[in-house]
């Protein structure tokens, strides 16, 4: 684990290129992301991608700056006395799990719903379905088409 | 959308370059799917004709061979009228219909009343143009028909999709290289979300909810029995909140309070919840109402995983950089909540989660992370096995993977079927329809036209339609921070004639109201992209111009999608 962490850190420093997939529309263009010192410098179309062959539109090439927006959420928030205030992960996750269990025992499985994201990965969408069906105990899950 | 959720585009992008006719129906492909449009452009260079069916004179019209400026929400009428022409002129593919389809007689009867002359009155398209495009489609050797939300975001969007699929079956333009039926997906992973079972009535792998074998399989892998009842879709969940039945929502990466129709109602419903958890990159409008907000990593650049694109290709997203501050990978957040509630989810990587998917979904079983590294993206279905096996999946095996669902629902004619196999994965679907022995026939689904729920009247005399523009995306959380881009604000598209009558000049501000809400100030763009009586708004600057306070929550019961493409508004100078 320690070795893996060190390797990861080494990877995150210096200049490198990583291939990933665009996060905007459903075309799914391959992107090559140039990273220096752990920060994205430039995004171009990935030449060998079998769907897009190196092409990418303005959203893919320029739209990445949103991940560095100062409006990104960087810590959990919980509502106290009507206000959203900073909380630790443990505090936030404990609260979520406890309230979910409380509501389930009070109102049963039908009291829950999940909106999953067509922006996120297959892995997340699969787990969100599993969460609804095995943890909440219903099948109230949908992923919306234009958030 | 649910009806086509476990289906997908039948062709590959490359086939746009090897076809004779491309129809973009309710799809502003050039602006909304620019790189797919590049494939189409190369196809046009190779001689393919382009037909655009769209109420607006979008840029793509300029290069098209034919533009059908259809009245909003009359697509089914047009499709049925085209079928009427094709059948009455004997241009339908009788041999294909005979051997590969069913229910043709009912369809023939249904479209018999949809003459081009009647259609002209409803759709606004001259009867001769309807005839011309119908003939073009029927007589082309190969043709690809594409659609997006212009078809599906109506109160009868699912019927609209059937109307188009019927045309493909009528002419045999499906299941062959260079011919097909393609829903182009709006979001990076709409295809994957449906494929993964993030839908109320479908499980990962295309399993239908009521399939006993699915229940057995999932219980075996998940260790607990599946819930008995089918779930609620998005619209049904909102109704359940209104009735007080649904008291707690877990919203992951969505902003329903800004993206859904009738925004004021959504606000009220989300505020009434006992407990709301929102997991997102930003403090969206929905997040501001939450009891707990969990900071997530950006899926395409800060996590490992996979997406599925509009040609069914599973592709790897990779963690390029660390998420900011304490933000975490979505799947780890889900795991940690599940485990606090007594589950035993012990994966450490996205790959372990994906391998669980492969165990449940035959269509994906051959697509391992290892193979994704080796081959790049892989188009499903792709069964597991040696290379020889996966490059030679027999139709029978592939049918076992997904067509079962279609049979039982009796309606979704084209879910997951079969295949040609030049390489690993599946280039185009439904090749079995052309085999000697057709194992599963595709049924026609006759549908009738029904106009938009809310039409313009004296009080609200304009029709509003909505959509996306090239550089901007959806509720704008990701695209408002460009350095330099043309028109970085919302614009109300209105024609010169209407603008003049209202005393509004290009660049001046307008106030737009519907029965549900008001956009107090939006800049007018006087343009010939829209015709008299029709106006257009995007929805990517939702904090400044909350377009969805205007739209109507008229939901298609079959798909759960609201009629975001049509409502009535009035316009004043602001």
* SS3 readout for B274-287: CEEEEEECECCHHH
Q: Which of A26, A58, A97 has the CB atom closest to B187's CB atom?
A: A26
Beta strands in B309-427 (DSSP E): 313-317, 378-379
Residue B374 in contact with partner chain A when CB distance is under 8 A: no
Instruction: Choose the weakest-confidence range: A4-8, B115-119, B140-144, B347-351.
Output: A4-8
Residue A62 in contact with partner chain B when CB distance is under 8 A: yes
Q: Does B333 contact A52 at a Cβ distance shorter than 8 Å? A: no
Residues in chain A closer than 8 A to B251 (CB atoms):
114-115
Name the pairing type of β-strands A30-36 and A39-45.
antiparallel
Instruction: Choose the weakest-confidence range: B20-29, B250-259, B393-402, B509-518.
Output: B393-402
Burial group, residue B552, by CB count within 10 angstroms (0-12, 13-18, 19+): buried
Residue B196 in contact with partner chain A when CB distance is under 8 A: yes
Q: What's the gap between Cα B425 and its chain centre?
A: 23
Name the pairing type of β-strands B207-208 and B202-203.
antiparallel
Closest CA of chain B from A109, distance in Å = 9
Residue A109 in contact with partner chain B when CB distance is under 8 A: yes
Closest CA of chain A from B310, distance in Å = 6
> What is the average pLDDT across B207-215?
86
Query: Is pLDDT above 60 for B1?
Result: no
Residues in chain A closer than 8 A to B336 (CB atoms):
89, 93
CA contacts within 13 A on the Cβ side of B354 = 24
Q: How confident is the model at residue A139 (pLDDT cuts 50, 70, 90)?
A: very high
Query: Is pLDDT above 90 for A6?
Result: no
Domain with CATH 3.40.50.740 in chain B: 190-364
pLDDT for residue B56: 93
Residue A34 in contact with partner chain B when CB distance is under 8 A: no
Residue B3 in contact with partner chain A when CB distance is under 8 A: no
Q: Does A110 contact B245 at a Cβ distance shorter than 8 Å? A: yes
Closest-CA residue of B relative to A80 is B291
**Where are chain A's structural domains?**
2-68, 77-143
Closest-CA residue of A relative to B225 is A134
Q: Does B301 contact A67 at a Cβ distance shorter than 8 Å? A: yes
Q: Does A142 contact B354 at a Cβ distance shorter than 8 Å? A: no
Residues in chain B closer than 8 A to A140 (CB atoms):
200, 231-232, 237, 240, 246
For chain A, give the percent of residues with pLDDT over 70: 88
Which of A13-22, B78-87, B383-392, B417-426 holds the top average pLDDT?
A: B78-87
Our CA angle for B236, B241, B244, nearest 5°, is: 125
Q: Which of B209, B249, B322 has the CB atom closest to A115's CB atom?
A: B249
> What is the average pLDDT across A61-66?
90
Our CA angle for B37, B40, B43, nearest 5°, is: 160
> Mind listing the pLDDT tens digit for each residue in B34-55?
999 999 999 999 999 999 999 9
> Mind listing the pLDDT tens digit for each residue in B288-342?
999 999 999 999 999 999 999 999 999 999 999 999 999 999 999 999 999 999 9
For chain B, give the percent of residues with pLDDT over 90: 66
* CATH fold label, B2-183: Dimethylsulfoxide Reductase; domain 2 (3.40.228)
Name the pairing type of β-strands B567-573 and B462-467.
antiparallel
Domain with CATH 3.40.228.10 in chain B: 2-183
Closest CA of chain B from A3, distance in Å = 16
pLDDT for residue B487: 64
pLDDT for residue A44: 97
The dotted CATH code for A2-68 is 2.20.25.90
pLDDT for residue B486: 59
Cα separations (Å) of B325 from B260, B281, B296?
Answer: 30, 12, 10
Integer Cα distance of B207 and B402 in angstroms: 7
Query: Is pLDDT above 50 for B394?
Result: no
Q: How many residues does chain B have?
A: 574
Please choose, from the candidates B53, B11, B46, B289, the residue with its C-alpha nearest in 3D space to the C-alpha of residue B148: B53
Instruction: Choose the weakest-confidence range: B53-57, B352-356, B426-430, B557-561.
Output: B557-561
Stretch 296-315 of chain B: residues touching chain A, C-beta under 8 Å: 296, 298-303, 305-311, 313-315
Stretch 94-153 of chain B: residues touching chain A, C-beta under 8 Å: 149, 152-153
Residue B171 falls in which region: left (phi positive, over 0), alpha (psi -120 to 50) or beta = alpha
Q: How confident is the model at residue B475 (pLDDT cuts 50, 70, 90)?
A: low
Closest-CA residue of B relative to A128 is B198
Q: Does A93 contact B247 at a Cβ distance shorter than 8 Å? A: no
Domain with CATH 2.40.40.20 in chain B: 462-573
* Exposure string for A54-64, b = 16+ CB within 10 A, e = fewer: ebbbbbbbbbb
Give the ipTM: 0.91
Residue A82 in contact with partner chain B when CB distance is under 8 A: no
pLDDT for residue A5: 61
User: How many residue pairs bridge chain A and chain B with CB atoms within 8 Å of each other?
Assistant: 425
Tokens linked to B480: 């408002």
Residue owning tokens 């892998």: B221
Closest CA of chain A from B191, distance in Å = 8
Q: Does A129 contact B195 at a Cβ distance shorter than 8 Å? A: no
Residues in chain B closer than 8 A to A84 (CB atoms):
283, 288, 290, 293
Mean pLDDT score of chain B: 87
Closest-CA residue of A relative to B294 is A76
> Mind listing the pLDDT tens digit for each residue in A71-86?
999 999 999 999 999 9
Please choose, from the candidates B466, B481, B478, B471, the residue with its C-alpha nearest in 3D space to the C-alpha of residue B522: B466
If residue B462 lies in a helix (H) or strand (E), which one and from where to where? Answer: strand B462-467
> What is the average pLDDT across A88-102?
98
Q: Does A138 contact B231 at a Cβ distance shorter than 8 Å? A: yes
pLDDT for residue B393: 39
Integer Cα distance of A35 and A47 in angstroms: 17
Q: How confident is the model at residue B477 (pLDDT cuts 50, 70, 90)?
A: low
Residue B220 in contact with partner chain A when CB distance is under 8 A: no
Cα dihedral B34, B553, B25, B205 in deg (nearest 10): 70
Instruction: Choose the weakest-confidence range: B20-24, B369-373, B545-549.
Output: B545-549
Q: Which of A122, A130, A134 has the CB atom closest to B307's CB atom?
A: A122
Between B495 and B381, name the one with better pLDDT.
Answer: B495
Residues in chain A closer than 8 A to B331 (CB atoms):
121, 123-124, 127
CB B92 within 8 A of CB B44: no
CB A98 within 8 A of CB B291: no
Q: Does A51 contact B192 at a Cβ distance shorter than 8 Å? A: no
Integer Cα distance of B516 and B500 in angstroms: 26
* CATH fold label, B462-573: Barwin-like endoglucanases (2.40.40)
Residues in chain B closer than 8 A to A126 (CB atoms):
196-198, 204, 353, 356-357
Stretch 36-55 of chain A: residues touching chain B, C-beta under 8 Å: 38-40, 48-52, 55
pLDDT for residue B405: 34
Query: Is pLDDT above 50 for B406?
Result: no
Query: Is pLDDT above 60 for B93?
Result: yes
Residue A20 in contact with partner chain B when CB distance is under 8 A: yes
Residue A122 in contact with partner chain B when CB distance is under 8 A: yes
For chain B, give the percent of residues with pLDDT over 70: 89
Residue B228 in contact with partner chain A when CB distance is under 8 A: no
> What is the average pLDDT across B102-118?
97
Residues in chain B closer than 8 A to A133 (CB atoms):
218, 222, 226-227
Q: Which of B231, B311, B320 has the CB atom closest to A40's CB atom?
A: B320
Residue A118 in contact with partner chain B when CB distance is under 8 A: yes
Q: How many residues does chain A have?
A: 147
Q: How confident is the model at residue B403 (pLDDT cuts 50, 70, 90)?
A: very low
Dihedral over Cα of B471, B477, B482, B485: its sign: positive
How many helices (H) and strands (E) chain A has is answered by 4, 7
pLDDT for residue B230: 92
Q: How confident is the model at residue B472 (pLDDT cuts 50, 70, 90)?
A: low
Instruction: Choose the weakest-confidence range: A40-49, A91-100, B259-268, B520-529.
Output: B259-268
Q: How confident is the model at residue B507 (pLDDT cuts 50, 70, 90)?
A: very high
Query: Is pLDDT above 80 for B172?
Result: yes
pLDDT for residue B439: 84
* Exposure string for B68-93, b = 16+ CB within 10 A, e = fewer: bbbbbbbbbbbbbbbbbbbbbeebbb
Instruction: Choose the weakest-confidence range: A113-127, B32-46, B464-478.
Output: B464-478
Hey, which CATH number is domain B190-364, 3.40.50.740, 3.30.160.20, 3.40.50.150, 3.40.50.280?
3.40.50.740
């Amino acid at each position: 684990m320690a070795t893996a962490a060190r390797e990861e850190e080494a990877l995150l420093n210096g200049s490198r290129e990583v291939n990933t997939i665009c996060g905007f529309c459903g075309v799914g263009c391959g992107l090559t992301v140039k990273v220096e010192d752990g920060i994205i410098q430039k995004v171009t179309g990935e030449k060998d991608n079998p769907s897009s062959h190196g092409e990418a539109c303005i959203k893919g090439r320029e739209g990445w700056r949103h991940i560095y927006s100062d409006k990104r959420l960087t810590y959990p928030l919980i509502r106290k006395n009507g206000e959203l205030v900073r909380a630790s992960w443990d505090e936030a996750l404990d609260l979520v799990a406890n309230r979910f269990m409380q509501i389930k025992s009070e109102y049963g499985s039908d009291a829950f719903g999940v909106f999953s994201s067509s922006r996120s990965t297959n892995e997340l969408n699969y787990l969100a379905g599993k969460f609804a069906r095995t943890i909440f105990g219903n099948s109230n899950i949908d992923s919306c088409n234009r958030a | 959308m649910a009806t086509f959720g476990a289906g997908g585009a039948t062709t590959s992008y490359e086939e746009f370059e090897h076809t004779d006719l491309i129809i973009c129906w309710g799809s502003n492909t050039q602006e909304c799917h620019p790189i797919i449009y590049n494939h189409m452009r190369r196809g046009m260079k190779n001689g393919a004709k382009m037909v655009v069916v769209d109420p607006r004179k979008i840029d793509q019209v300029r290069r098209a061979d034919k533009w059908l400026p259809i009245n909003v929400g009359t697509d089914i009428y047009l499709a049925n009228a085209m079928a009427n022409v094709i059948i009455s002129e004997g241009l339908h593919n009788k041999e294909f219909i005979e051997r590969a389809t069913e229910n043709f007689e009912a369809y023939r009867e249904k479209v018999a009343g949809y003459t081009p002359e009647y259609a002209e009155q409803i759709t606004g398209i001259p009867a001769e143009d309807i005839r011309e495009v119908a003939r073009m489609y029927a007589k082309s050797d190969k043709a690809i028909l594409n659609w997006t939300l212009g078809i599906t975001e109506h109160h009868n969007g699912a019927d609209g999709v059937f109307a188009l699929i019927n045309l493909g079956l009528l002419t045999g333009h499906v299941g062959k290289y260079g011919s097909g039926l393609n829903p182009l997906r709006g979001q990076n992973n709409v295809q994957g979300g449906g494929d993964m079972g993030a839908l109320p009535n479908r499980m990962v792998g295309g399993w239908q909810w009521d399939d006993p074998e699915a229940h057995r399989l999932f219980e075996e892998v998940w260790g607990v029995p599946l819930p008995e009842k089918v779930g609620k879709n998005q619209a049904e969940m909102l109704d359940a909140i209104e009735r007080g039945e649904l008291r707690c929502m877990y919203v992951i990466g969505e902003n329903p309070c800004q993206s859904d129709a009738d925004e004021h109602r959504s606000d009220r419903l989300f505020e009434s919840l006992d407990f709301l958890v929102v997991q997102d990159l930003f403090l969206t409008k929905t997040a501001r109402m939450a009891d707990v907000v969990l900071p997530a990593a950006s899926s395409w650049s800060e996590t490992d995983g996979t997406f599925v694109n509009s040609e069914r290709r599973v592709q790897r997203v990779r963690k390029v950089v660390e998420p900011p501050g304490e933000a975490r990978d979505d799947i780890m957040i889900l795991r940690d909540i599940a485990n606090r509630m007594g589950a035993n989810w012990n994966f450490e990587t996205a790959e372990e989660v994906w391998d669980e998917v492969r165990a449940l979904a035959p269509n994906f079983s051959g697509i391992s992370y290892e193979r994704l590294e080796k081959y790049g993206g892989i188009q499903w279905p792709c069964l597991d096995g040696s290379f020889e096996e996966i490059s030679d999946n027999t139709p029978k095996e592939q049918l076992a993977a997904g067509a079962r669902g279609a049979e039982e629902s009796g309606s979704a004619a084209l879910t997951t079927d079969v295949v040609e196999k030049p390489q690993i994965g599946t280039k185009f679907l439904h090749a079995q329809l052309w085999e000697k022995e057709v194992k599963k026939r595709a049924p026609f689904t006759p549908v009738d036209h029904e106009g938009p729920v809310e039409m313009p009247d004296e009080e609200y005399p304009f029709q509003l339609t909505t959509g996306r523009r090239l550089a901007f995306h959806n509720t704008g959380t990701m695209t408002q921070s460009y350095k330099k881009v043309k028109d970085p604000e919302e614009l109300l598209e209105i024609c010169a004639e209407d603008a003049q009558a209202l005393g509004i000049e290009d660049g001046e501000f307008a106030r737009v109201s519907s029965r549900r809400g008001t956009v107090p100030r939006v800049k007018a763009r006087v343009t010939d992209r829209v015709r008299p009586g029709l106006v257009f708004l995007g929805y990517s600057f939702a904090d400044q111009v909350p377009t969805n306070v205007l739209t109507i929550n008229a939901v298609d019961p079959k798909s759960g999608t609201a009629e975001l493409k049509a409502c009535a508004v009035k316009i004043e100078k602001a």
